[in-house]
Amino acid sequence: MTDISPNEGNHKAVETKLGYSPVADIPHRLRAADTDPKAAKRAERQVASMFLLSMLFVVLFIVAYIAIDKSTIIYIPVMGDVGASQVALGFTLAAAIFLIGAGAIQWAKKLMPDVEVVQQRHDQLSPGSATREAEANYERGKDESGFARYKMIRRTLIGALVLFPIPLVILLKDLWVPTKAEQGKSPADILSTTLWTKDTRIVSDGTYAPVRPEDLPVGGLISGVPADLLDVEEIEGNLNARGKAAIILVRMQPDEIRSQQGDGWDYQGIVAYSKICTHVGCPIALYEQRTHHLLCPCHQSTFDLADSGEVVFGPAARRMPQLPIGVDFWERG
Amino acid sequence: MTSTSPVEKAGGATATYVDQRIGSNKFLARNLGKVFPDHWSFMLGEIALYSFIVVLLTGVFLTLFFKPSMVEVVYDGSYVPLKGIKMSEAYASSLDISFDIRGGLLLRQMHHWSALIFVAAMAGYSLPDDLLSGTGLQIARGIMQAAPIVGTWMAFLLFGGEFPGTDFISRLYGVHILLIPGLILALVTVHLMLVWTQKHTQFPGPGRTNDNVVGYPLLPVYMAKAGGFFFIVFGIVAFVGGLVTINPIWLFGPFTPDQVSAGSQPDWYIGFLDGALRMMPNWETVIFGWTISWNIMVPAMILPGILFTVLALYPFIEAWVTGDKGEHNLLDRPRNAPTRTGFGMMAITFYALLWIGGANDIIAVAFDLSINAITWFLRVAIFVIPPIVFWITRRTCLGLQRKDQEKLLHGYESGRVLRLPHGEFVEVHQPLSVKDLAVISSKTEHVPLPAPEKADADGVRNKHYKLQMRRHKLSSFFYKESYVRPTDEEIEAGQHHVAHDAELEAPLHAYEDADQINRAHGGVLHHPGMAETNAEQESQH
């Protein structure tokens, strides 16, 4: 069919010269600028104006950079209060860059040839002679080196090449240098201990004031941390202890507690559970007092704090660890 | 050379200088007129490439101001709500970039927006050490620790101890500004070299064959269009970066491991993994004291492993199944490869369902649904819906093929009914345009691999019978029910016949042209004095 093989035709001469020829059979409509010198002139002016405007916006950008104070806030409808410098710089920069592109594309569309041309593809496959030469060279190399003959050399070389990266991997060991407290412990040991001990007082996260039972009404929730946390953070210079020791305290009616992880681990209906999700470690504080469910905001694991912190839904496999609590009466007056 | 301007002379001299040393004119001779095919979808690749360049440019600017350090400092910049608060230097310097360096927020937001367009951002999300990015790191560490046996150790080494430690940001920074961009740059270069050497594939169209490229030459048209488009993308990113807030880290506050905000959402390219994590049932087994966390391993390691492996191997699998190892420069229209299109749609559906899973909390709130119900729906849907989509897609493709066959043989249905002078009613069919004919007739014939023989003529048993049989069945499935493209002769005859059909309308057009009255669209040939109504018609008789 002639419609899909346009290379036959009177374009052969062009093809040999430049490697491509116009496609003969695509219906082609002339543009205004192709026939009307006025339209062509108009297109030229459009393109040049865009480039000119681009330059103007560069000047405006510099003016905005110098003139607008970085703390000035202005109100723009829809967007609300925004930084004036940010908006002015963004807009002028965007306009300066965009107009170059718009000008170039207008130029291509209105004034450059819009006739598609054909170029032939060539086989990627190398000619047989080249392949044979490559093979001969490979064989010569194999033969001259004796790689196939010297079995011992070959095997020891492979062995050496396999072993030499090992030191480079070993060097990575000190990515973790255990602190004094961590020495001699495995990562698993370290992860399974927290700051909490039998006599540690619970303080409220944020104010660091000791938590008292009367601070917590039924249905209420307090985020707690161990009293010595700030000191430990000061000494260690990191937030590691906080990441393990954070707890939440919730209070329910004592008879609402169906079970807990140890006998009498609550205090008058106040139970303490870890705040760190057993799934992948997000902190949890979404507590629904009616169902006593605790929901992780990351992957929606749900735990029942009235039932030993067991998983009721979601991807977490293990229940929330519970912390036994009591009241230090000597401090009460 | 006919150049006369000093600039052109200098350019020519430079070209000669370089040519003497590396023979570059041979390359220029071949390539300045290189032809690139036009198709809107090729623009998507350009957008990705150009956003990557914008990411690099803005990223260099940010490195000058960002301090990748977890050392604790007290903030004393101009953002009042956080004044006097203890935070990492990384977070403080991110705030400085946002509030105290003119244009800093603009560049930071351009970096984020263009990275979202280009999907390179993974590590950058976590660098500012704000509350949201810290939560992301916490999840990443949780996933890492789920790797059997080595996981906990790996996490301790990468973080330099427990979470969050003080090393990770600066380590991540090196990866983010050196390793990942270097790797992407290398891959982009290889990709562009391949496109350049092999020449761009093209969609079927007039004059386009497997052995040519039809389009516009590099100089001047493609240079102006593609080069201009870079500035368009850059400009739009600057506009969005200037006017649309993204990742307002100052609202999240500094990271601490015991705070999180509700509705924590990852950037879009991580959404599918997060969705998988959310959907997975809480399976875990303990074997000889080793915990195997299926609930984390399956969605976060095994699933992406399988997903990307299948993605990378698919072309080879299809080539093996179909036995088609030829060079293809003319793209298949999706309908002409129904099984492949079906697989593609199936994969997209699978991905989309995971993605929906990643937003299950947002959806639950927005539509007032139970989050448990959404999760349970997705747990089932992920296995049920993709195969259904596969089947629908394949049937749709086959239907479209049948329609194409009709068009090739009988032309377009014009919808115009014509009554001929002797009373016969016909529907006018129109011949296809040159472009449509080229596109539709581009379908190539595929034949499934033949069924193997159990033994050859001499009775020698075929050792590979089972494998060959399986391959035969797979390739039969792959090409099943595909419509046979009419031969060139049949198409020509069909189109010729249709052209004859259109001639019937000629007197109609002639009449319209002469009379300038457009009454004929009912389809009956009108002529002056012709009855307008049934009553008139009867009275005339």
Tens-binned pLDDT, residue by residue, of chain B (541 aa): 455 799 999 999 999 999 999 999 998 888 888 999 988 888 888 999 999 999 999 999 999 999 999 988 999 999 999 999 999 999 999 999 999 999 999 999 999 999 988 876 556 777 777 888 888 888 999 999 999 889 999 999 999 999 998 899 999 999 999 998 999 999 999 999 998 888 889 998 888 888 889 889 898 999 999 999 999 999 999 999 998 888 888 888 888 888 876 666 788 888 999 999 999 999 999 998 888 999 999 999 999 999 999 999 999 999 999 998 888 899 999 999 999 999 999 999 999 999 999 999 999 999 999 999 999 999 999 999 999 999 999 999 999 999 999 999 988 888 888 888 888 888 888 888 888 888 898 888 888 888 888 888 888 888 889 999 999 999 999 988 777 888 888 888 888 888 877 777 777 777 666 655 444 444 444 444 554 555 555 555 5
User: Cβ separation of B235 and A120 shorter than 8 Å?
Assistant: no
B218 neighbors B31 (Cβ within 8 angstroms): yes
Show residues of chain A in contact with B161, CB under 8 Å: 176-179, 182, 190, 240
Q: What are phi and psi of B365, to 5 degrees?
A: -70, -45
Residues 201-230 of A with CB under 8 A from B: 205, 223, 225
B242 neighbors A93 (Cβ within 8 angstroms): yes
pLDDT in tens, A126-182: 999 999 999 999 999 999 999 999 999 999 999 999 999 999 999 999 999 998 888
User: Cβ separation of B225 and A108 shorter than 8 Å?
Assistant: yes
Q: Tell me the nearest-neighbour CA distance from B61 into chain A, angstroms.
A: 15
- Out of B38, B142, B372, name the one closest to residue A279 (CB): B142
- Out of A120, A173, A299, name the one closest to residue B212 (CB): A120
Residues 22-41 of A with CB under 8 A from B: 23-27
**Is the peptide bond between B164 and the residue preceding it cis, with omega within 30 degrees of 0?**
yes
**CATH classification (class only), A194-331:** mainly beta
Q: Does A50 touch chain B (CB under 8 A)?
A: no
Q: Does A63 touch chain B (CB under 8 A)?
A: no
- Name the 3-class secondary structure at B43: helix
Tell me which chain A residue has its CA closest to the CA of residue B32: A18
Element (H, E) at A62: helix A37-67
Separation between Cα atoms, residue A199 and residue A35, nearest integer Å = 94
The pLDDT, as a whole number, for residue A330 is: 57
pTM of the model: 0.86
Give the residue, B482 or A225, on which the prediction is more confident: A225
- Out of A1, A99, A286, name the one closest to residue B492 (CB): A1
Tell me which chain B residue has its CA closest to the CA of residue A101: B228
Assign 3-state DSSP to chain B and report helix, strand, coil percentages, each to 5.
Answer: 60, 5, 30
pLDDT in tens, A86-125: 999 999 999 999 999 999 999 999 999 888 888 888 888 8
Q: Does A170 touch chain B (CB under 8 A)?
A: no
The pLDDT, as a whole number, for residue A2 is: 30
- Name the 3-class secondary structure at A240: helix
B233 neighbors B226 (Cβ within 8 angstroms): no
Interface test with A, best of B74, B111, B231 (most A CBs within 10 A): B231
Separation between Cα atoms, residue B287 and residue B125, nearest integer Å = 36
- Out of A20, A83, A97, name the one closest to residue B105 (CB): A83
Give CA separation, B503 vs B434, B495, B499, B521, in Å. 18, 13, 6, 16
Q: Per CATH, which fold does B34-264 belong to? A: Cytochrome Bc1 Complex; Chain C (1.20.810)
User: Cβ separation of B434 and A97 shorter than 8 Å?
Assistant: no
The pLDDT, as a whole number, for residue A9 is: 35
Separation between Cα atoms, residue B536 and residue B541, nearest integer Å = 9
Tell me which chain A residue has its CA closest to the CA of residue B212: A120
User: Cβ separation of B207 and A191 shorter than 8 Å?
Assistant: no
- Name the 3-class secondary structure at A76: strand
Show residues of chain A in contact with B105, CB under 8 Å: 83, 86
B151 neighbors B144 (Cβ within 8 angstroms): yes
Q: Does A176 touch chain B (CB under 8 A)?
A: yes
Separation between Cα atoms, residue B139 and residue B134, nearest integer Å = 9
Q: Tell me the nearest-neighbour CA distance from B455 into chain A, angstroms.
A: 35
The pLDDT, as a whole number, for residue A28 is: 72
List all residues 6 or more positions away from B533 whose beta carbon is below 8 Å from its beta carbon: none
| Alpha-carbon torsion (B196, B201, B207, B210), positive or negative | positive
User: Cβ separation of A280 and B257 shorter than 8 Å?
Assistant: no
Tell me which chain B residue has its CA closest to the CA of residue A302: B372
Show residues of chain B in contact with A1, CB under 8 Å: 437, 441, 488, 491-492
Hey, where are the domains in chain A? 2-118, 194-331
Q: Does A134 touch chain B (CB under 8 A)?
A: no
Show residues of chain B in contact with A114, CB under 8 Å: 221
Q: Does A21 touch chain B (CB under 8 A)?
A: no
Task: Indicate the residue type of A31.
Answer: R
A93 neighbors B201 (Cβ within 8 angstroms): no
Hey, where are the domains in chain B? 1-31, 34-264
Separation between Cα atoms, residue B412 and residue B64, nearest integer Å = 63
pLDDT in tens, A177-219: 998 888 999 998 999 999 999 989 999 998 999 999 988 999 9
Task: Indicate the residue type of B265.
Answer: Q
The pLDDT, as a whole number, for residue B129 is: 78
